[in-house]
Structures are given as structure tokens and as C-alpha cells.
Amino acid sequence: MRSTASLTAHSFVGQCFSPGQATGQDVLVELVPGSLVVCLPDGQRLTAPLSEVQLSRGGFNAQQWQFSWRHDGGQWMIALSDPNAQQRLRSKPPVGLEKQLASLSKAQHKANWVARIGWSVLVLVILTPLILLGLLWWQADRIASWATDRITVEQEAALGQAVFEAQKSHLRLIEQSPLQAPLEEMGQRLTKGSAYRYQWYLTDDPAINAFAIPGGIVVVNSGLVKASSSPEELAGVLAHEVQHVEQRHSLKGMVQNLGLAAIAHFALGDYSGSLPAQMATELADLKFSRDHERDADNKGFDTLLKADINPQGMVSMFEKLDQASGSAPPALLSSHPDTQERIAHLRSRLAGLQARKFTPLPYPWPKLKQSLAK
């Protein structure tokens, strides 16, 4: 890789995140007229048209620049954290990125101002003299809870919709599927009495996964449906994801990961601008805590019982995913290495039900799964 001393105004060293890669790798990036060129460690050069590259801010306090684009059906991202390289690009914007750089610089200036306001709010409202020096590091979860507790369900729904719209272009949504009605019917049973108005979406994605967006938007991958053997197994996953919404796990996690700037936005009631796009980026990489996963398991199990849906489906689906995953667990089970412990706990709860009978869900599952292959 070229020495940093020889970098030009339009070249820099950044971290490359490619499909299927858990961690970033250092690469040389060159911005030439109309294109972004990535010099990969194996000697290959990957070129992306600047017209397809989205420039946004991310990382702690949104000081990182992120160049994102799609290539061969996968999402690629270059993270630039070096302030010197950022300044070089500001001083001499590459052809094709002038407008995005100007917009980003303006947003970053505003974010820095909002962050300063956020510090003042934290000092005046939250911090006490005894924990002034340590609160930001030791009480991050409480700070995130403080911010999210001040958001109404209506505000969260509006924010969640904005996050979904920011992410929508990257999803291959399936419309008019025979599975849509069963999905919504199961969802209604699992969310009866909820303060949220849920939306349910199917997407053409082979990854065995589903995810919930704050405010009650649940996206189910076709890969998850195909991996299930019964509607009860899918319902078990839906019950788990619903509880991440009901307990606001996703919202708290994203606020905590985005740092002080996001907390200040929430404290001031500002849910516009680049915040939804930043939260959409964070949502893709969000890892729930061990306590949050167990909470979603337990409350999801309870929800299945209340809905008269056999929770054996939740247990068997988690067992199936764990057995099939080997060294690469699906996203649903990859948050923590204690999957076996979680499954054992659910098994013990299942055993405690003794001989309780459940009415099977009335859906022709093999036929519905086959419809995804069309």
C-alpha cells in the first residue's frame, strides 16, 4: 500500500467493509474523475461510478465519512476516519462529489453545533458532580434510555418510517405474495393490544434473518421463511422480533451506538436531516446485548402463549438454526455466543407447559414456501 506521505488530495487510506466480511480491512482509495477506485490487498482494483456512491456520516459522534455503493448485488462501504484526509477532500472536492461533500460538510457543522448543545443538556439535566467524569463511559445505557424515554410512540413511529424509507432502496421487497396475509395475521395475533401499529414486509433475501425497525416495522427475509418447517417456527421468530420493538431494544441500541450527537437530536426533538440514514446504517450492524436477547426470548415466548401459538416452533427454529450454522451462525443467533444457553432455557420453559394443547396455525406451509421460488 502506498505510504501516507505520498497520498494526493484525492487519495486516502480507509477501511473497506465488503459483503460477508465481519471486519474492515485497510485499503488505498483513489477518487478519479467520475469514479471511486479501491485498491484491494490482493492486488485487485474495484471501480465504482461516483454517480452510484452515497456519502454519509457515521461512527461515534458521526465524525466518520462513509462511502457506500452496491456491487454484484452486495453492499460495499469505505470508512474514512482520518481528519487530514477529510480536510484534503473538502479543500479540493473531486469531480462528481462536489454536491455531496458540500452537503456533508454543512451537516457535519450542524452536528458539531448540536453536539455542543447536547453536552450542555447532559451537564444541566443528567450529570451530577460525583459522576461527571465517568458517566459518558459507564452509564451509556442509562443515557440512551433517558433519551428514548422522552420519545412518544407517535414520534418513534415517524422516526421508524423515516429509517425504513432510508433503507428501502436496498431491500428487494416482495409485493402481492401469498405469504403476505398469513404474515400479517400471525403478526396481528402477536401484537394484540400493542401501542404500535405494525407493518409487515417480505423481502427477497436468502439470508436467514428478520429484523424490526423502531416504531413497529418488521422485515422478514425469504431465506428465513424457506428455512422454517411450519408457520409456528416463523411465528416464534416474529414473536422475538416484536419484543425488540415493544421493549425498545432497537431504538436504545441505535441511540447508544450513534453517540452524543444522536442523543442531542433526541433531546431537542430533531428527527430530521441525516439522522434516519445514520440509524438505518446502524440498524444493519446492531448487536443486541445478552440481556436484551434473553428478554426478547422470554417475552416472545409469553406472547406466543397468549396468542395460543405453540412455542415449540420458537424452540425448534432456534435449534435448527444453531445446528445448521456451524462456525457461521445466522444473524438471528449471532449477537452472542450463548445460543445454547438461550435454547436450553426455552426448552425448560417448554417442558413446564406439560400437556397444554395448541390449535395449529391453518396455513398450507409447503405450498406457501414454494410460492417464494416463483
pLDDT tens for each residue of 20-39: 776 889 999 999 988 999 99
Window from 120-134, 197-211, 290-304, 350-364 with minimum mean pLDDT = 120-134
Window from 83-97, 137-151, 192-206 with minimum mean pLDDT = 137-151
The pLDDT value given to residue 132: 45
pLDDT tens for each residue of 101-154: 888 878 777 766 766 775 566 556 555 554 444 554 555 566 667 667 778 899
The overall pTM is greater than 0.75? no
Catalytic site positions: 241
Residue-wise burial string across 139-149, b where 16 or more C-beta atoms lie within 10 A, e elsewhere? eeeebbbbbbe
- Is residue 360 classed exposed, middle or buried when 0-12, 13-18 and 19+ CB atoms within 10 A define those classes? exposed
> d(Cα 6, Cα 187) in Å, to the nearest integer?
57
What residue ranges do the domains of the chain occupy? 11-111, 150-371
Window from 56-70, 234-248, 360-374 with minimum mean pLDDT = 56-70
The pLDDT value given to residue 128: 53
CATH fold for domain 11-111: PH-domain like (2.30.29)
Sheet with 54-58: strands ordered across: 45-49, 35-39, 25-32, 11-17, 74-80, 64-71, 54-58
pLDDT tens for each residue of 64-80: 899 999 988 889 999 99
Q: Which three cell numbers stand for residue 369?
A: 414456501
Residue 262 in 3-state DSSP? helix
Q: What percent of the chain has pLDDT over 90?
A: 43
